[in-house]
Amino acid sequence: MNLPIYMDHHATTPVDTRVLDAMLPFYTRKFGNASSRSHGFGWEAEEAVEVARKRVAGLIQAKPREIVFTSGATESDNLAVKGVARARCRQGNHILTLPTEHKAVLDSCHALESEGFRITYLRVRSDGLVDPDDVRAALTGGTILVSIMTAHNEIGVIQPIAEIGRLCRERAVIFHTDAVQAAGKIPMDVEAQHVDLMSITAHKMYGPKGVGALYVRDGTPLISVLDGGGHERGLRSGTLNVPGIVGLGKACEICSGEMPGESERLRSLRNRLRDGIFSRVDEVYINGSMEQRLSHNLNLSFAHVESDSLLMSLPDIALSSGSACNSANPEPSYVLKALGTRDELAYSSIRFGLGRFNTAEEVDYVIEHLSEAVANLRSLSPVRE
């Protein structure tokens, strides 16, 4: 076993060597611009992009022409939320989302509020899930967009997006889902789930950073947020990141083939981790539903222990206290607060994100050293009798 141990796969994943091998030629020998259509270098790059487009589409059961390549999840979310709002502003100004969404969606909604759009932030239950009946009740004649994450980046809960998508389809409301944590981890089917827009990114599925995609259902009104050369059917201008796109495509191909087996292996490791911690530590609380949850996610609160102190006590283990985008924020997780978690427990939460290369030996190491660290910190706590 090599140290340190990495269990922060919701923040990012290592690039699979198979992905890297697919990418490398496009940095050197096959370096053409995919928009250069007057010579072989450009044709070769364009062909590679189209192969990747098919692979991405295959992962989510979409048509290749419905895949728009972007720089990553944040851009995809911005394009989806702002692009639909501005395209449909004459039909209405109402948007539904959740207070637990990623900041890329929430901050896009806040920006739209300053433009006159009305945003409804639906409540979530204590298990982190939204009730589809609450979505139905909140839809109005002026609702133009619903944006709800498929699987959560902190607490791992999986929302009932097929049912929500059906409600939106019945009311002719566009449905966007941030599937960044879900794509490649659980089966996604944009047709069966009635999804109109879906955000994904490569670096959450063992691909490179800086490249992602937005699924855009044929006929979905969308205004670009970038102006330039009119690339990607005019929806995302900018020279295509060919090596990154090739890597995204390869990552999607690997996930398509290995997802079922990998999911079961990670669920077994996650349950081993959970059971081991609960057998050795008392006053531990699970955040979010265990039934509707990603197989590689565990989010726990350790009473009477601050998460930052616990993380500092485990220098050989890479974990986090929440989203990587908010890791420098001293405030408790806004996600856990939305679930009704009291401050003491919100400040004591740890997110475990297992991944493709983690082993049972590493899980046992984490159980042992984390349990010892919790016991030591609690012995020093003035509020622990």
Class of domain 17-255: alpha beta
pLDDT reading at 169 higher than 70: yes
pLDDT on residue 381: 74
pLDDT on residue 88: 96
Largest CA distance in the chain: 76
pLDDT band at 35 (very low <50, low <70, confident <90, very high): confident
Bond before 64 cis per omega within 30 degrees? no
**The length of the chain, given as a count of residues:** 385
Radius of gyration in angstroms for the set of CA atoms belonging to the chain, rounded to a whole number: 21
pLDDT band at 224 (very low <50, low <70, confident <90, very high): confident
pLDDT on residue 135: 98
Helix (H, G, I), strand (E, B) or coil at 153: coil
Bond before 132 cis per omega within 30 degrees? no
What whole-number percentage of the chain has pLDDT above 90? 90
Residues 6 or more apart whose Cβ sits within 8 Å of residue 268: none
> pLDDT tens for residues 236-260?
878 899 999 999 999 999 999 999 9
Mean pLDDT lowest for which of 77-91, 110-124, 152-166, 311-325? 311-325
- How far apart CA 212 and CA 351 sit, in angstroms, is 24
pLDDT on residue 264: 98
Residue 206 dihedral angles phi and psi, to the nearest 5°: 70, 30
> pLDDT tens for residues 303-321?
999 999 999 999 999 999 8
Q: Taking a C-beta distance cutoff of 8 angstroms, is the pair 199, 190 a contact?
A: no
Residues 6 or more apart whose Cβ sits within 8 Å of residue 331: none
From the candidate CATH numbers 3.40.50.150, 3.40.50.300, 3.90.1150.10, 3.30.470.10, the one assigned to the domain spanning 5-12+259-380: 3.90.1150.10
Q: Taking a C-beta distance cutoff of 8 angstroms, is the pair 173, 143 a contact?
A: yes
pLDDT on residue 283: 96
pLDDT reading at 325 higher than 60: no
What whole-number percentage of the chain has pLDDT above 70? 96
Q: Where are the domains of the chain?
A: 5-12+259-380, 17-255
Please state, in angstroms and as integers, the Cα–Cα distance from residue 281 to each residue in 288, 304, 383, following that order: 19, 12, 17
Task: Find the mean pLDDT for residues 97-108.
Answer: 97
pLDDT reading at 327 higher than 80: no
Residues acting as catalytic residues: 325
> pLDDT tens for residues 182-213?
999 999 999 999 999 999 999 999 999 999 99
> What b/e sequence results for 125-143 when a residue is b if at least 16 CB atoms lie within 10 Å of its CB, and e otherwise?
eebbbbebeebeeebeeeb
pLDDT on residue 380: 87
Please tell me the pTM assigned to this model: 0.94
pLDDT reading at 170 higher than 60: yes
Q: Taking a C-beta distance cutoff of 8 angstroms, is the pair 26, 246 a contact?
A: yes
DSSP code, position 172: T
pLDDT on residue 326: 53
